[in-house]
Amino acid sequence: MSGHVGYLYGDGPIELNAGRRTVVLEVVNTGDRAVQVGSHFPFHRANPALRFDREQAVGMHLNIPAGTSVRIEPGGTREVELCAYGATAQNPPEDV
């Protein structure tokens, strides 16, 4: 096997989650341990030690690149942007 293996994405910037509904929430870690939430985890189901408006987070995940995560230290506060999953009403994601 020879040659370059990779992906060609184009010349311009790539906008993630374009056109999806977003919401910005303030999240407080009331626990005694750091909490890390991955990019595609249903945010409303995140660790109960995280205090935020869970109703607004239903059907949404962090608006960050796939495979990354957000970490919130004990007692810490962080503003996060969430975006709606790409599924439609006819094809909803499982267990969101």
- Give the chain's domain count: 1
**What mean pLDDT do residues 73-90 have?**
87
Q: What is the CATH number of the domain that holds 64?
A: 2.10.150.10
pLDDT of residue 46: 98
Residue 15 lies in a domain: no
Residue 4 lies in a domain: no
* The pair of three-digit structure tokens given for residue 88, joined into one six-digit string: 């439609």
Which amino acid is it at 83?
A: C
* The pair of three-digit structure tokens given for residue 11, joined into one six-digit string: 């010349």
Residue 50 lies in a domain: yes
Could you tell me the residue range of the domain that residue 40 belongs to? 22-84
Residue 63 lies in a domain: yes
**DSSP H/E element including 55:** helix 54-57
Residue 37 lies in a domain: yes
pLDDT over 70 at 89, yes or no? no
Residue 89 lies in a domain: no
Asked whether the CA dihedral 54, 83, 30, 95 is positive or negative, the reply is positive
pTM: 0.79
Q: What is the pLDDT of residues 25-59, one digit of tens each?
A: 999 999 999 999 999 999 999 999 999 999 999 99
pLDDT of residue 58: 95
